[in-house]
């Protein structure tokens, strides 16, 4: 018999505000931000969509905020992306699997959300919505128990997190104490050999600025084909490229398996931020697609699913380093030996200082200091963050 208060209500909201809203939709940034400045994508084959990812709609969905309130008033919440379409699913479909139920029944709740939506879901925005609900449940469980989520996941296996930084200025990231820097790839196959040369020159320049021991990686955001990715990997090897990330379409498991065979010895192939659920990651692992997987905790199915994905990876000697995800990643990474470091996305427009990833939605979001975060920064109930009351929530649907 459960002694916990039952779930009274689940609410799904979005944040209005348009361009520059930021937060969970980290691509929704204002003009001049490094994250939207001529980054290689598969839309680059259309010249009108080459300069800016916002031009083809990378920011159309926006943030989803899920709140789950218990009968005793305790409320857990989470933010992810998915916007109004995800809010519709939470309110009109998934709410029935939560209200009146013990919040600690998270396995059954996950199972029911996934299988009830399987005929239209399985990946993408539906699993974003499921992830948002799951993360709000873990936050709620932590608040009810007065414990941080990482305690409920088994406790910390080390005293601090160490981070690499994703952004346009690995040289500045090194000065800020990060262990590595991941550059966005700027030129795609459509820009030919000249573009490839520029990609290699940028890496060489950063290597000269950062020295030999600093990790440098390229994030290719699904823009390449196997041939181009193989050529890029070999051209970048003399400049010490540690890994080549998300080089090709996430649907091309066969291509990843080939790329992993093609890259120079010692270079890692990484992917997974646009993959979802234990079945998607099982495919990546069984087809030997990569050395390191990068589930986004707000997109892959939440913490409940990440635990299953991570156990499979551990048994195969594959590292799990979540994509972005801020606190949702930190509470997980600190509990797992096969997650030895974490990603920090540089949200400052010029990547020249540390800024919280989910600004302005969250208050109390911890950020790395000297590229590190002590476990004590996570010692608050749930995920340890609060919704910023100054950010107006809009609830487009009710049930
Ligand atoms: C920099 C990448 O293009 C993307 O915006 C973020 C990402 O894929 C990552 O952090 O990994
Ligand atoms: Mg990436």
Q: Is the pLDDT of residue 1 over 60?
A: no
Pocket test for ligand 1, best of 28, 345, 357 (most atoms within 8 A of CB): 345
- Contact between 77 and 90 under an 8 Å Cβ cutoff? The reply is no
Domain extents in the chain: 7-25+61-146+388-394, 152-380
ipTM, two decimals: 0.99
The H or E element that residue 129 is part of is helix 124-145
Average pLDDT of span 378-384: 98
Please provide the average confidence, as pLDDT, over all residues in the chain. 96
Q: Is 281 in the pocket of ligand 1 (CB under 6 A)?
A: no
User: What does DSSP say about strands 7-15 and 393-394: parallel, antiparallel, or unpaired?
Assistant: antiparallel
Q: 371: burial class by Cβ within 10 Å (0-12, 13-18, 19+)? A: buried
| 323 is known as an active-site residue | yes
Structure tokens at 130: 């499921």
Which residues make Cβ contacts (< 8 Å) with residue 184, sequence separation at least 6? 34, 35, 39, 40, 166, 168, 219, 221
Cα 162 from Cα 160, distance rounded (Å): 7
Residue with tokens 């800024």: 355
* Residue 53 known to bind ligand: yes
Cα 290 from Cα 182, distance rounded (Å): 17
* Residue 194 known to bind ligand: no
CATH class of the domain defined by 152-380: alpha beta
Domains 7-25+61-146+388-394 and 152-380 share a fold: no
Dihedral (CA of 208, 210, 215, 219) sign = negative
Residue of higher predicted confidence among 164 and 18: 164
Task: Kindly report whether the global pTM for this prediction surpasses the value 0.90.
Answer: yes
Architecture per CATH, domain 7-25+61-146+388-394, reads as 2-Layer Sandwich (3.30)
Residue of higher predicted confidence among 1 and 372: 372
Q: Is 36 in the pocket of ligand 1 (CB under 6 A)?
A: no
pLDDT digits (tens, 9 = 90+) for 6-63: 999 999 999 976 545 678 999 999 999 999 999 999 999 999 999 999 999 999 999 9
């Amino acid at each position: 018999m459960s002694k916990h208060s039952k779930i009274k209500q689940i609410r799904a909201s979005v944040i209005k505000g348009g361009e520059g809203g930021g937060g969970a939709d980290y691509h929704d940034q204002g003009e001049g931000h490094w994250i939207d400045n001529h980054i290689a994508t598969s839309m680059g084959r259309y010249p009108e969509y080459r300069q800016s990812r916002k031009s083809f709609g990378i920011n159309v969905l926006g943030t989803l905020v899920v709140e789950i309130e218990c009968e005793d008033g305790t409320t857990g919440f989470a933010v992810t992306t998915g916007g109004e379409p995800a809010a519709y699913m939470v309110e009109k479909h998934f709410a029935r699997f939560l209200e009146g139920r013990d919040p600690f029944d998270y396995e059954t709740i996950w199972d029911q959300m996934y299988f009830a939506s399987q005929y239209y879901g399985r990946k993408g925005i539906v699993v974003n919505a499921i992830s948002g609900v799951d993360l709000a449940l873990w936050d709620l469980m932590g608040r009810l128990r007065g414990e941080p989520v990482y305690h409920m996941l088994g406790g910390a296996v080390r005293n601090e997190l160490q981070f690499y930084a994703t952004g346009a200025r690995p040289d500045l990231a090194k000065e800020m104490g990060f262990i590595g820097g991941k550059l966005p790839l700027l030129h795609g196959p459509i820009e030919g050999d000249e573009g490839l040369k520029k990609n290699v020159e940028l890496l060489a320049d950063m290597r000269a600025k950062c020295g030999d021991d600093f990790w440098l990686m390229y994030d290719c955001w699904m823009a390449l084909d196997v041939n181009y990715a193989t050529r890029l990997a070999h051209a970048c090897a003399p400049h010490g490229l540690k890994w080549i990330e998300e080089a090709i379409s996430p649907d091309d498991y066969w291509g990843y398996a080939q790329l992993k065979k093609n890259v120079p010895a010692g270079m890692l192939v990484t992917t997974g931020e646009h993959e979802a659920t234990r079945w998607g990651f099982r495919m990546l692992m069984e087809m030997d697609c990569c050395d390191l997987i990068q589930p986004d905790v707000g997109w892959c199915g939440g913490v409940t699913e990440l635990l299953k994905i991570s156990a499979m990876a551990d048994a195969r000697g594959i590292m799990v380093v979540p994509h972005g995800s801020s606190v949702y990643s930190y509470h997980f990474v600190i509990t797992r030996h096969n997650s030895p470091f974490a990603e920090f996305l540089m949200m400052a427009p010029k990547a020249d200082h540390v800024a919280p990833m989910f600004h302005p939605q969250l208050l109390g979001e911890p950020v790395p200091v000297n590229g590190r975060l002590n476990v004590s920064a996570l010692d608050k109930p749930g995920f340890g963050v609060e919704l910023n009351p100054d950010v107006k929530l809009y609830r487009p649907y009710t049930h």
